[in-house]
Structure 1
Amino acid sequence: MRRTDGGTGRRWQVCGGGVLAAALLLAGAALPAQAAPTRGDIVQVDLGLNGAQPDNWSEALGVSANGRYGLFTSLAANLVPGDTNRLYDIFVRDLHTGRTERVSVADDGSQLDGSTSAAAISGDGRYVAFGSDAPGVVPGQRADGDRKVFVRDRGTGRTELITTGTRNADSPAISGNGRYVTYTADRHDIYVTDRWKGTTRLVTAGTDGSRADGDSADPVISEDGSVIGFRSKATNLLPRDQDRAPAAQPREAHTALAKEVVAPAPVAPAPAGSKPPPPRRTSRSTRTTRAPGASTAPASTPRACCETRSRTRP
């Protein structure tokens, strides 16, 4: 993905299966609203009602694995009917039909009284995970001002609260089938929730089971949900022998791989969504060693980490 600023606004298109961010003025004509893009075509995704240009800023967030659905956030008020909250919302554009749908909505379909800007889409485009500080997204949600992560099922038209037991959650990523959702929460730890089993587990745990001693961020998840990647400043996520390196060697961040056989831990009791950024079985763990010649960066340098989880049957 490449971003290109265009003055005060930004528009994004789909080009040959990839995502581009382009300036406000486009080179060439877009396809008709009802035409599916073909290889080499460029189409604008954040179009307003009746094909109108959006009246405010938009940013690309992703494309479904099948290439049909474009995911983006926007302040525009003319993309769908009834958008009057004047806040960032999350939208999905069907590139085959030209239909735009607002997916950051409450369980009853009403618009949110809070901002949403971080989101991720499942492989087939059915599920969208998003973070929001809005109250009343689902029945019984506490109005505590915390940011929470939700999943919108576009097939059933229902919205589900994911982060029950964590606080100030954001930056969601979702597996291809929508079963697993990973996100940051609490003091910038990484968690993963199994929606099918209703369980949540801390990903950023040290080799001794303790919580990470530094911040972690930007989680990503594999198609089948078995691997979670993230960056971290924590110093206790890897075995101690991987943290020893001759001082004379170059300072390089390294990637760690953790393999675990675990059953998810029970979900803690739920507490009850901040404004958008500016644009068991008993477990046994084995950890890989650092590649030959690689050295460890100082504790203040973020590291790229990856956890491999065993696949479990539904």
Structure 2
Amino acid sequence: MRRSTNRGTARRVRGVLCAAVVVCAVTTVLPGAASAESGGVARDSAVGVERVSVAGDGTQSDGDSTGGAITTDGRRVVFSSSAKNLLPGNTPGGESVYLRDQPSGQLKRVGTAPIQAPVISGDGEYAAYWVLLFRDTKVKLAQWTAGSAIGLNCDALNCSQPSLSGDGRYVANVATIGRPSTSQRIDVWDWQANTKQELAWFDHTAPSRPSISGDGRFVAYQDGKAGNVFLWDRDHGSISGPIEGPATEASIVQISEDGSKVVYLSGSDTYVHDVSSGTAQQVPNVKGLAIDPGGDHLLYAPHDTTGPSLILRDLSAGTDEVVSNQPASAGVDAVSAGGRDVVFRSTADDIVPGDTNGKSDVFVRHLY
């Protein structure tokens, strides 16, 4: 069902645009501030916010829930939780991975013991996460239909930091080599064909992670030691970059599902790199967190902590909408197509009525 185009009580505030020359033809967009939020609880078809880390009957969780990633159409959400009461007979000993279908409210536990928040494929059929297996880490792929997880055929001692294509077929991840670890590489697995492409090798283990486009053609990744962001193009078999330009340090945030934009951080600013033109749009003094599948909406956290904690920027219109006025956090894959929905985590107890569990919860704000 297509949601109403009424933006409710959330007011859009047009940002002030000004030109600046940063790296290569960079446009600077000054962050604005929206002032009001839509309250109440919504179920898929209305503007508002709902708590999704709940049982199928709406019972609130008895444990902390974290992470949160949403599909392209906003239908499904993946998150992790230490709760024991989300499913009948559910008694996990620690953190578990849950997939939730929003329209039906159906919830499935599809994995256990994630080290970091899980990510989701654009179609919502798969989630990926990484776990500790004895001394090593492995990537697991969970399927909605099967309701269970499988281990990927990682040919290194440690594999981590997965990113999924739109249909879940391609998984980009980091493989760490040696014990103790001395080097790492960026891989892309076609797990259905059981084939692998090695994109880059690094002679260090500084944080380096990939982000893959929906069709698996592009992978943006960082060299954590040099502070550079690169873009791999499968069709041309080429690697371009560093996309932030020379003598500039940067770290990767996310590539949009359509492969048109790459978000990276540099200094105190966020940049949205246009893949086709090679130019970048600068959003100063904010921390970019995620971008929507079409590359038009940036979710960010202002460095100024006295105002809203999460804001969604319409990059074309230069307008902002508040996602959360309360303290909140979000990760990659947090925005659905067109900026319709944003998933986030918060410990606040006044985002929706009846939040009395005293735990961190995962929410989805429906903006239209």
| C-alpha separation in 2, matches of 1:289 and 1:190 | 16
Kindly name which structure, 1 or 2, has the bigger radius of gyration based on alpha carbons: 1
For the residue of structure 2 that corresponds to 1:47, the secondary structure is coil
Quickly say closer, same or farther: Cα 1:169–1:131, change in 2 above 3 A: same
Q: Does 1:201 align with 2:210?
A: no
Q: Deviations over 1:41-78 (max 9, x none)?
A: 32110013532211111123210112100111111111
| C-alpha separation in 2, matches of 1:173 and 1:44 | 25
1:147 alignment counterpart = 137
2:220 alignment counterpart = 229
| C-alpha separation in 1, matches of 2:64 and 2:204 | 37
| C-alpha separation in 2, matches of 1:100 and 1:163 | 27
8 A contact 1:131–1:169 mirrored in 2: yes
1:190 alignment counterpart = 186
Quickly say closer, same or farther: Cα 1:80–1:116, change in 2 above 3 A: farther
8 A contact 1:183–1:190 mirrored in 2: yes
1:37 offset after TM fit, Å?
A: 1.3
| C-alpha separation in 1, matches of 2:83 and 2:253 | 36
2:20 alignment counterpart = none
RMSD: 3.3
1:200 offset after TM fit, Å?
A: 2.0
What TM-score does the superposition give when structure 1 sets the normalisation length? Answer: 0.59
Quickly say closer, same or farther: Cα 1:234–1:304, change in 2 above 3 A: same
Pairing 1:100-139 to 2, within 5 Å after superposition: 100-104=107-111, 112=112, 114-133=113-132
Q: Deviations over 1:270-312 (max 9, x none)?
A: xxxxxxxxxxxxxx64646868xx4324xxx55549999xxxx
| C-alpha separation in 2, matches of 1:287 and 1:306 | 16
1:115 offset after TM fit, Å?
A: 4.4
1:181 alignment counterpart = 171
Task: Note the residue ranges of structure 1 that are not aligned, 5 or more in a row.
Answer: 1-14, 17-25, 105-111, 135-143, 206-210, 236-252, 263-283, 309-314
| C-alpha separation in 2, matches of 1:56 and 1:81 | 15
Quickly say closer, same or farther: Cα 1:202–1:231, change in 2 above 3 A: same
| C-alpha separation in 1, matches of 2:103 and 2:253 | 37
For the residue of structure 1 that corresponds to 2:69, the secondary structure is strand
| C-alpha separation in 2, matches of 1:145 and 1:255 | 30
| C-alpha separation in 1, matches of 2:39 and 2:232 | 48
8 A contact 1:228–1:306 mirrored in 2: no
| C-alpha separation in 2, matches of 1:191 and 1:177 | 18
User: Percent identity over the alignment?
Assistant: 25
For the residue of structure 2 that corresponds to 1:296, the secondary structure is coil
Task: Note the residue ranges of structure 2 that are not aligned, 5 or more in a row.
Answer: 1-6, 9-36, 177-182, 260-368
Quickly say closer, same or farther: Cα 1:230–1:39, change in 2 above 3 A: farther
1:4 alignment counterpart = none
1:130 offset after TM fit, Å?
A: 1.7
Quickly say closer, same or farther: Cα 1:98–1:259, change in 2 above 3 A: closer
| C-alpha separation in 2, matches of 1:130 and 1:219 | 14
Aligned length: 216
8 A contact 1:168–1:185 mirrored in 2: yes
1:82 alignment counterpart = 89
Quickly say closer, same or farther: Cα 1:82–1:185, change in 2 above 3 A: farther
Quickly say closer, same or farther: Cα 1:133–1:40, change in 2 above 3 A: same
2:157 alignment counterpart = 167
1:261 offset after TM fit, Å?
A: 5.7
Which one has more relative contact order, counting CA pairs under 8 Å at least 6 apart? 2
Q: What amino acid maps onto 1:75 in structure 2? A: S
| C-alpha separation in 1, matches of 2:63 and 2:53 | 10
8 A contact 1:232–1:304 mirrored in 2: no
| C-alpha separation in 2, matches of 1:72 and 1:198 | 27
Pairing 1:14-33 to 2, within 5 Å after superposition: 28-31=39-42
For the residue of structure 2 that corresponds to 1:96, the secondary structure is coil
1:149 offset after TM fit, Å?
A: 0.7
1:71 alignment counterpart = 78
Q: Deviations over 1:134-188 (max 9, x none)?
A: 5xxxxxxxxx442211112222345322143122222211100111011223145
What TM-score does the superposition give when structure 2 sets the normalisation length? Answer: 0.51
8 A contact 1:122–1:177 mirrored in 2: yes
| C-alpha separation in 1, matches of 2:40 and 2:209 | 36
1:42 alignment counterpart = 49
Q: What amino acid maps onto 2:48 in structure 1? A: D
8 A contact 1:120–1:128 mirrored in 2: yes
